[in-house]
Amino acid sequence: MAGILDLLNSDLGKSLISGASSYLGQGKEQTGSGLSAALPLILGALKNNTATSGGAEGLLGALSKDKHDGSILDNLGDMLGKEDTLKDGANILGHVFGGKEQSVAQAVSAKSGLDLGKSMDLLKMAAPVIMGLLGKQSRQNNVADGGGLDNLLGGLLGGGNQAKEGQSLITKILDANGDGSIIDDVMGMVTGSNKGGLGSILGGLFGGK
């Protein structure tokens, strides 16, 4: 299974970058940079949330709904900027990040150079795409329990032991120093002032150089 960042180089990824770039009015390179941060952050949060049986059941239930059947992947150009898509994305982000969406958007903004508003819009567009991708793959692979879901998320995150190191991936990214304050850690990671930096963490997750 291809990792999520590998998918950005596929036809699907190029359509996602092109559609998001057009909606945001930004260059494809900058939009792609934003997505390279946004996608693993969303997936990491989803994987963290499914560590409990209740979280896994909740995500499986959401993926079984028609709106997450993968159909969004067939027409990204028309779907990304629609009000319903952005509203769905906002709901997904609120659930997986538990109200910390602004700090996640700050991380995307600092990495890509997009302003905070556009970074938030990018996250809102990316979230339904990820849910559509998960919904499609869960159907194709007959995923019906937490173990199968964990394998699916792990595969997209680069899989293997690196995805399982640290029981809270999103906490590791958003509160690296464990002080309970995520804003300084997010900004430090994306700018490289924290040890390793966001690029180092994501590079490790995805086998980056």
CB contact at 8 A, 82 and 75: no
Whether 107 has a pLDDT exceeding 80, the answer reads yes
Is residue 141 in a domain?
yes
66 found inside a domain: yes
For residue 51, is it within any domain? Answer: yes
Average pLDDT over residues 28-54: 87
Query: Does residue 52 fall inside a structural domain?
Result: yes
How far apart CA 37 and CA 201 sit, in angstroms, is 11
Q: Which residue, chain included where needed, has tokens 């991380």?
A: 107
Q: Note whether residue 37 is domain-resident.
A: yes
The total domain count for the chain is 1
Q: Is 125 exposed, middle or buried (0-12, 13-18, 19+ CB in 10 A)?
A: buried
The mean of the pLDDT values for the chain is 78
> Which residue, among 56, 60, 47, 59, has the nearest Cα to 166 in the 3D structure?
47
Q: Is 175 a domain residue?
A: no
Domain membership flag for residue 112: yes
Predicted local confidence at residue 7, as pLDDT: 81
Q: State in Å, rounded, how far the first CA of the chain is from the last one.
A: 20
Give the number of other CB atoms < 10 A from CB of residue 137: 17
Range with the poorest average pLDDT among 80-84, 118-122, 143-147, 155-159: 155-159
Looking at residue 43, what is its pLDDT?
87
Domain around 53: 4-158
pLDDT over 90 for what percent of the chain?
36
More confident residue, 4 or 176: 4
Average pLDDT, integer, range 20-46 = 91
In this structure, is residue 126 part of a structural domain?
Answer: yes
